[in-house]
């Protein structure tokens, strides 16, 4: 067994224009001060990271690793959540997802998709340049508007969507193979890869590609009423990354899974800071440890109530308390005898 690394923090919700969140040096110092050993980088945020440089210059990657190390921080992974989302966008979401892309491709879906693919390709190369072996992204979605089949879906609609999704992602998966990097899709509502069935539909279409893997985040499964512990049993061989995020689901006579178009505070399903929700993290860390997951436990703060800095500080200690330093011996080794070649046969009565 292996011990999970951590705690680490995803910086997407913290990078900003005010100190200490507005530069790589200051945000990594802050992360260490509040208890983190690692950070996951949002590759789109130029205030703290230059993706173009990272893809083309190992010297730049060594420089930012060095700054982080001086501050007591290790880089855990790069993220292309926003760029990956733009790899596949249904026309209903064009305006909304344009904001994730570079201004020069706004209003041009084909140019936006090409930009997104280039961004993910560069991030995979940058991951290699950083000496990291896993990268997280979103799959994007073509079929999501048809998640609830009314009116009835046209025959073959979903199959066509997943065929196209696989076609778009296959070159990036092949590049990930060349770079020695696992491409980890965060299984997430709003993406075509939002549960086990949809992941398997995609996996089948990319021929069970070795680099097609998962980021495991139990909060998204709580909100879908999906068994998040059984999910580990089923997919542990494909789970290469881990977001530690809490959630709660409290349905009423007025609202359930779909949320009633309410704000996060007023939904039945809500993301919460660690320890404030319903995820059994003791069981989650136990299962991942038993299956030899040795990646990072990365806190993703998304809470409808608590201040992010409080959530981050409490989250670091929460993860530290849940990481299991795995044992190298069995608890009953002290009473286990040695086999001298004949004792087992004698115990079984074979040579009587």
pLDDT tens per residue across all 352 residues of the chain: 899 999 999 999 999 999 999 999 999 999 999 999 999 999 999 999 999 999 999 999 999 999 999 999 999 999 999 999 999 999 999 999 999 999 999 999 999 999 999 999 999 999 999 999 999 999 999 999 999 989 999 999 999 999 999 999 999 999 999 999 999 999 999 999 999 999 999 999 999 999 999 999 999 999 999 999 999 999 999 999 999 999 999 999 999 999 999 999 999 999 999 999 999 999 999 999 999 999 999 999 999 999 999 999 999 999 999 999 988 877 777 667 676 677 888 788 887 7
Is 243 a member of any domain? yes
What interhelical angle do 109-129 and 157-179 show, nearest 10?
A: 30
CATH code for position 246: 3.20.20.150
Is 149 a member of any domain? yes
Cβ contacts of 8 within 8 Å, gap of 6 or more? 36, 37, 38, 39, 40, 74, 76, 296, 297, 298, 299
As a whole number of Å, the CA-based R_g of the chain is 22
* Residue 42: domain span: 5-347
Task: Give pLDDT, residue 334.
Answer: 67
Closest to 299 in 3D by CA, of 218, 246, 245, 247: 245
Is 58 a member of any domain? yes
Is 84 a member of any domain? yes
Is 157 a member of any domain? yes
d(CA 135, CA 48): 18
Task: Give pLDDT, residue 336.
Answer: 72
Q: What is the pLDDT of residues 175-189, one digit of tens each?
A: 999 999 999 999 999
Is 26 a member of any domain? yes
Task: Give pLDDT, residue 351.
Answer: 75
Is 65 a member of any domain? yes
pTM here is 0.94
Task: Give pLDDT, residue 1.
Answer: 82
Closest to 234 in 3D by CA, of 190, 191, 197: 197
Is 352 a member of any domain? no
- Our count of domains for the chain comes to 1
């Amino acid at each position: 067994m292996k011990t999970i690394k951590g705690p680490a923090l995803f910086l997407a919700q913290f990078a900003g224009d005010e100190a200490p969140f507005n530069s790589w040096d200051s945000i990594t110092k802050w992360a260490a001060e509040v208890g983190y050993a690692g950070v996951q980088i949002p590759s789109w945020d130029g205030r703290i990271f230059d993706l173009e440089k990272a893809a083309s210059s190992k010297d730049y990657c060594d420089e930012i690793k060095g700054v982080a190390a001086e501050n007591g921080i290790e880089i855990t992974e790069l993220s292309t959540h926003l760029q990956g989302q733009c790899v596949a966008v249904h026309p209903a979401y064009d305006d909304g997802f344009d904001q994730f892309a570079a201004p020069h491709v706004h209003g041009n879906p084909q140019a936006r998709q090409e930009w997104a693919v280039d961004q993910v390709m560069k991030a995979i190369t940058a991951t290699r340049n950083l000496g990291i072996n896993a990268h997280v992204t979103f799959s994007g979605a073509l079929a999501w508007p048809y998640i609830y089949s009314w009116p009835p879906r046209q025959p073959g609609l979903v199959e066509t969507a997943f065929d196209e999704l696989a076609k778009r992602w296959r070159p990036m998966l092949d590049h990930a193979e060349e770079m020695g990097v696992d491409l980890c899709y965060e299984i997430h509502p709003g993406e075509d890869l939002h549960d086990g069935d949809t992941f398997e539909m995609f996996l089948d279409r990319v021929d069970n590609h070795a680099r097609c893997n998962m980021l495991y985040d139990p909060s998204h499964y709580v909100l879908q009423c999906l068994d998040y512990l059984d999910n580990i049993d089923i997919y542990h061989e494909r789970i290469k990354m881990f977001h530690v995020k809490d959630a709660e689901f409290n349905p009423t006579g007025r609202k359930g899974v779909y949320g009633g178009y309410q704000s996060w505070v007023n939904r039945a399903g809500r993301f919460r800071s660690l320890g404030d929700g319903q995820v059994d993290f003791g069981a989650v860390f136990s299962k991942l440890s038993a299956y030899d997951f040795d990646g990072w436990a990365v806190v993703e703060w998304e809470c409808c109530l608590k201040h992010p800095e409080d959530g981050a500080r409490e989250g670091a200690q929460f993860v530290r308390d849940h990481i299991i330093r795995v044992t190298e011996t069995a608890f009953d080794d002290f009473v286990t005898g040695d086999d001298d070649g004949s004792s087992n046969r004698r115990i079984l009565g074979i040579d009587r």
